[in-house]
Amino acid sequence: MSTPAPPPEDEPGEDSPLLRWLRGRMAEENRLRRWLRRAT
């Protein structure tokens, strides 16, 4: 999985809602995997 390129200079550093949602989903998946690994 590749890291997204930094935004162009003329764009604000603020993340788009989609990016924020995606990051939240990925964090949630990592949490679930960690929990699953601990549970087994």
Quick one: pLDDT at residue 15?
72
Per-residue exposure over 4-26, b if at least 16 CB sit within 10 Å of its own CB, e if not = eeeeeeeeeeeeeeeeeeeeeee
Query: Using one digit for the tens of pLDDT, what is the confidence trace for 1-40?
Result: 677 776 666 655 667 889 999 999 999 999 999 999 998 7
Give the tokens for residue 23: 């990051």
Give the Cα separation of 21 and 25 in Å (integer).
Answer: 6
Quick one: pLDDT at residue 30?
97
- pTM greater than the 0.75 cutoff: no
Quick one: pLDDT at residue 3?
75
Quick one: pLDDT at residue 6?
65
